[in-house]
Amino acid sequence: LRKDIHDQFSLMDATISTPCTVMHVRRSDVVLHVQRSRKYFPMSTYVDHLPANRRNETIFLLTDDANAIDEAHEFYPELKWSYLNRKRWRGTEGGWENQTPSRSPKLEIAIILATLRLVQRCDTIVFSSSQFAKTLTRVMRWGHPKLKRV
């Protein structure tokens, strides 16, 4: 597992320059039009909350939805996007029962642990409500006590 974490970290290491902003876009468990479900937010919602002084810097996009990456490039090609090159579901195609698009729990854990290491380089985070975003925020504060949460 240690080698897998190192390999995932190394894949992204050179692409994240500082200062940077983490943008966490969670969508795979969104169920539209149900009162108690997670709300869907378009990329514009996240980008609109991106501080103006961060728009020329690296945005480390963390998402479980391949559509979010497509939207980022289509609607915001001027922004400097960085993200892990990995298999993702599109929208809700994975459903509740298939939360590991790679079909490898070991790889998914390596990706999560490498991500927790990589986000410590950034000092701003844009996110909606999720437990993982709260974990990201806690981990990012280790290196940046004055972390900007947006």
Taking only the tens place, the pLDDT of each residue in 39-86 is 788 999 999 999 999 999 999 999 988 999 999 999 999 999 999 888
Mean pLDDT of 110-132: 88
Is the N-terminal amide bond of 19 cis, ω within 30° of 0? yes
Asked if pLDDT for residue 33 goes beyond 80, the answer is no
Residue 19, token pair as written in the block:
């200062």
pLDDT interval class at 32 (50, 70, 90): low
Q: Cα(60)–Cα(24) distance, rounded to whole angstroms? A: 8
Residue 72, token pair as written in the block:
């980022």
Q: Cα(140)–Cα(135) distance, rounded to whole angstroms? A: 9
Asked if pLDDT for residue 113 goes beyond 70, the answer is yes
Q: Cα(10)–Cα(44) distance, rounded to whole angstroms? A: 30
**Nearest Cα to Cα of residue 60 among 136, 5, 2, 128:** 136
pLDDT interval class at 94 (50, 70, 90): low
Mean pLDDT of 32-39: 64
Asked if pLDDT for residue 14 goes beyond 90, the answer is no
Q: Cα(25)–Cα(4) distance, rounded to whole angstroms? A: 24
Torsion of CA 78, 93, 10, 124, to 10 degrees: 50
The neighbouring-strand residues paired with 44 are none
Q: Cα(82)–Cα(64) distance, rounded to whole angstroms? A: 14
| Residue of 59 and 109 predicted with greater confidence | 59
Mean residue pLDDT across the chain: 84
Q: Coil, strand, or helix at residue 24?
A: strand
